[in-house]
Each structure stands twice: as C-alpha cells, then as structure tokens.
Amino acid sequence: MKNRIVVVAAAAIFAVAAATLAAPAAEKLKVGFIYLGPVGDFGWTYQHEIGRQNLVKALGDKIDTTYLENVNEGPDSERSIEQLARTGHKLIFTTSFGYMDPTIKVAAKYPKVDFEHATGFKRAANVSTYSGRFYEGRYIQGMIAAKMSKTGVLGYIVSFPIPEVISGINATILGAQTVNPNIKVKIIWVSTWFDPGKEADAAKALADQGADVLMQHTDSPAAMQIAAQRGIYAFGQDSDMIKFGPKSQLTAIIDNWAPYYIQRTNDVLNDSWKSTDTWGGLKSTLVVMAPYTNMPDDVKKLASDTEAAIKAGTLHPFKCPVVDQDGKTVECKGGDHLDDGQILSMNFYVKGVDDKIPGK
C-alpha cells in the first residue's frame, strides 16, 4: 500500500513538473455558437450559421468554432452554454432571446469567457448583447408594399407575439401609410417557428382574403412560393428568397451577422473585447436588403432613397408623433423619434392596424 502511494506521488510530481515546463503552444481561439433551431431551417439559425461559416473563412487558422443546434430554451440551454465554457471556448454566441438568463448565469461562473447574447437586454462585464434593427427594413418594405398593392391590403404572417415582431408590423404600417394612408393589414399568427405547411396555409388564407402583398416574420420560403403560385408579391425574410418567387419577391430582409462576428472575434484575439450593446441596422450592414426586384423604377428609387436616408440618420421609421391604435400619442423619449428602449419593448399597434394585439 505504501509503495502505491509513493508511485502515485511521484507520478503527480512528474506531471506537475511537465506541465509547468511545457510552454503553451499558440492555441487557436475557440468560439462557440448556440443555435435555437437546425442549421438547415433556411431562416434565423441558417443565417447565424452562414455568419459562423464566414467567420471561419475570414479568420480560419486562428480560430476553432463549434456549434450546438436545436438547443431547447429551457434548462438544457444552461447546460449547453456551460459545456462550451468548460471546454475551453472563450467566446460564445447565444443566438436566441430565451437564452438570456442562462447566459447570464453561466457568465457569472466563467468571468474569463466572453458571451454575446442575441436579441436580449441583460448585460454583464463579460456579456454583450447584439441584434439587428430589422424594423428599418420593414419600413422600406411597407412603402414598397403600399406602392405595389392594388387592393390596399397587406398580409402579414407571424409566429409569436414578441416585441421585435410587433415593432416590425408597426414599422411596416408606418412606412406603408406614407404612400397610402388607408392601407390595411391582415395578421395571422401561426404559433410556430418551424412549420412551412402552416405558413403556406396562412399565406393562402391571406391571399383568399384579398391581400396581394405578403410579408412574413417566419422562417421558411413557403409564403413566397404561395405568392408565386397566386401571382401576388411577397417579401423574403432572413434570407434572400428570390429563387422561390422569381417574379414575386420584391426584396428581402437579410440578417448579416458575419461582419459583427468577425469584428467581435478579432476583439477577443486582440484582447480588446468589452461588453457592449450593438443594435445595428442598415447603416452598419447588420441588416441588408436584397436587391429590389419586380417593381417599376420609381418604386425602386423610392426604396433606395429611403434606405439611404435611414442610413444617413435623416429618416427614422418611428419618428414622432407615433399614434397608437387607441388614438393616443405615444410619449416621445428619443427626441424626435421613439428611443431604443421603447422600440425594443414595443407592445402596442400603431393607428391603422385594426387587429387587437395579442396578450395585452
């Protein structure tokens, strides 16, 4: 028994000596990603994955990336995030709102790891937040839609009522109202992020009820295809969906995460990473519009001009006064436009939307 103890002690001393003598090799930075859906969803997660792939292309030999997909937002997510932190990942992107508290919890345990949480609002010394000002793109889409619609009825397919979806609807209507003050919108909640069949059904229902321009805040190209079938227009979402509706797609809002991912990874590599809140829009190219197609030149010009104005900061989709459904003017906290906090937590419909907001 005594011999065994001696042997083990000797081995331990050797191991410690070896470890201290061995110089750490130039290690690659390990970057981790937590995805809500499958990378093949052609929507939200797909674009984050494209961002990751572009990150690898840009910084290839300096980094080593890992991703976990279909991570449920419940108790599993905390474990998954912590697993990435434990296995040496020094920068972790958690790409859905529901990962907010798990990210904060894990971040508290691993102060040396940097976390980036998408679409959230809680930060810490080692947790940043980031998201896209998709409502800027919605505003432009609203203008285009109002120009192109003959019936004056827009169809909107949405999944769940969260503030980002609500601000998207509002921005669309506000944009549309600059062209047609009497524009109408029909909203259908499909209550899922992953059912193309339901999206197709919703698109058919909207078309049947007179909508001739379709917009969506869901992930698949189903609605675009129905639009193509019915000979009406539609907007792509998350990705460019032109090939599913070559004559139908007017434009699409494309999530362009790669530049942000590359920049933040470089920050970690350069040791200059700090906790920030990034809400990038058209100007920072976090949000990119697909080429304007299937529309006459004057509409194209209107769209591009509006895009330029938003980028320049001279036009804000939520410029005051913003009037809600009940006719009340919303308090203007951002000077001449609603401030970020109001947009981030938007929970009312603007005047012009006839439907009742769910869950109020």
Partner 1 sequence: MLLALERRAERSTAIGIASPVIAVALTLATVAVLFAIIGKNPIEALDVYFLEPLLDPFSLGEIVVKATPLVMIAIGLSLCYIANVWNIGAEGQFLVGAVAGSWLAVRTNGTDAGYWVLPAMLVLGTLAGALYALIPAICKVRFGASEILTSLMLVYVAYYGMDYLVRGPWRDPKGLNFPTTAPFDPVATLPPLFEGSRVHSGTLIALMVVMLIAVMLGRTIMGFEIRLVGAAPKAAGFSGFNADRLVLFTFAISGALDGLAGIIEVAGPIGYLQPDISPGYGFTAIIVAFLGRLNPIGILIAGFFLALTFIGGENAEIAMKVPLDLTKVFQGILLFYVLACDSMIAYRVRLIRGVRKAVPANA
Partner 2 sequence: MLDALGQILGLIFSVNFILTVITASTPLLLAASGELVAERSGVLNLGVEGMMIMGAACGFAAAYVSDSTIVGALCGILAGAAMAAIFAFLTLGLAVNQVATGLALTILGTGLSGLIGAGFVGMRITPAPQLYLPVLTGLPVVGRILFGQDAFVYFSFALIIGIWLFLYRTRSGLILRAVCDNHVSAHALGYPVLKIRMLAVLFGGGCAGLAGAFLPLAYTPFFIPGMTAGRGWIALALVVFASWRPGRLVAGAYLFGAVTFLQLSVQGLGLGIPPQVMSSLPYLATVVVLVLISRTRGASGSAAPASLGVVFVPDR
Measured from the CB atom, is 59 or 202 closer to partner 2? Answer: 202
Question: Judged by CB under 8 A, which stretch of 104-112, 134-142, 200-208, 289-297 contacts partner 2?
Answer: 200-208
Q: How many alpha carbons fall within 13 Å on the CB side of residue 291?
A: 7
Scanning residues 151 to 170, which ones bind partner 1 (CB under 8 A)? 160-163
Among residues 78, 101, 201, 324, the one that binds partner 2 under rule CB under 8 A: 201
304 binds, among partner 1, partner 2, none (CB under 5 to 8 A by kind): none
**198 C-beta neighbours (distance < 10 Å), count:** 18
Among residues 10, 57, 87, 291, the one that binds partner 1 under rule CB under 8 A: 87
**Helix axes 222-230 and 196-208, enclosed angle (nearest 10):** 30
Q: What are phi and psi of 219, to 5 degrees?
A: -95, -25
The sign of the dihedral angle between the CA atoms of 40, 45, 47, 48 is negative
Which two three-digit tokens encode residue 326?
């009940």
**Helix axes 44-59 and 258-269, enclosed angle (nearest 10):** 50
> Is 279 a binder of partner 1 (CB under 8 A)?
no
Q: How far is CA 225 from CA 104, 186, 195, 249, in A?
A: 40, 19, 14, 10
Question: Judged by CB under 8 A, which stretch of 14-22, 101-109, 216-224, 256-264 contacts partner 2?
Answer: 216-224
Element (H, E) at 118: strand 114-118
> Is 60 a binder of partner 1 (CB under 8 A)?
no
Among residues 29, 56, 58, 68, the one that binds partner 1 under rule CB under 8 A: 68
Scanning residues 229 to 248, which ones bind partner 2 (CB under 8 A)? 239, 243-244
In 19-62, DSSP assigns E strands to: 29-34
> Is 229 a binder of partner 1 (CB under 8 A)?
no
Report, in Å, the least distance between residue 52 CB and partner 1: 12
Rounded CA separation 56/287 (Å): 20
* Chain residues in the site for partner 1 (CB under 8 A): 32, 38, 66-70, 72-76, 78-80, 82-84, 86-87, 97-98, 101, 109, 121, 160-163, 191, 341, 344-347, 358-360
* Chain residues in the site for partner 2 (CB under 8 A): 38, 40-42, 46, 155, 161, 186-192, 194-202, 204-206, 208-209, 211, 220-222, 225, 239, 243-244, 354-356, 358-359
